[in-house]
Amino acid sequence: MTFLPSEGLKTAGTGKGRGEQDVASDHAPALTVRDRWDGAEATVTVQGEIDVTTAAALSGHWDEVAARNPQRLVIDLAEVGFLDSAGLQAFAQVRRKLPEDCPVIVRSAQPRLRQVFEITGLSTAFVFE
């Protein structure tokens, strides 16, 4: 899923494979989300900024992943440069939708992003790698 500056928030098919689609947003820089499955383990790779203009669509993508009942979810944030409170809410929602015995691993978060999780107390809900 890719979020690009445009008019309003809308979904546009891209002909890309499952787990990837384009979404446009007024004020947001591009945000790309891809998921990859290895058996019952899902890895979701996020690139760009997670903010109020992109968090709802990102949460929707994570809902689709959660609906497939992964036994382990890895969220790769190596290419995420910004995360606001709306983004934190999306993380909290995906954690709540999955069973407690399904670990949610946040991989490669930049130090300032990890600090946001720690300051808000959300770091205890995730495993950081």
Enter the DSSP assignment of 102: S
Closest CA to 41 of 83, 90, 98, 102: 102
Q: What residues does each domain of the chain span?
A: 27-128
Is 54 in contact with 65 (CB distance < 8 Å)? no
Tell me the whole-structure pTM to 2 decimals: 0.79
16-31 pLDDT, tens digit per residue, is 445 554 444 455 457 8
Enter the DSSP assignment of 109: -
Give the model's pLDDT for residue 116. 94
Burial of 59 (0-12, 13-18, 19+ CB in 10 A): buried
32-91 pLDDT, tens digit per residue, is 999 999 999 999 999 999 999 999 989 999 999 999 999 999 999 999 999 999 999 999
Report the CATH fold assignment for 27-128: Transcription Regulator spoIIAA (3.30.750)
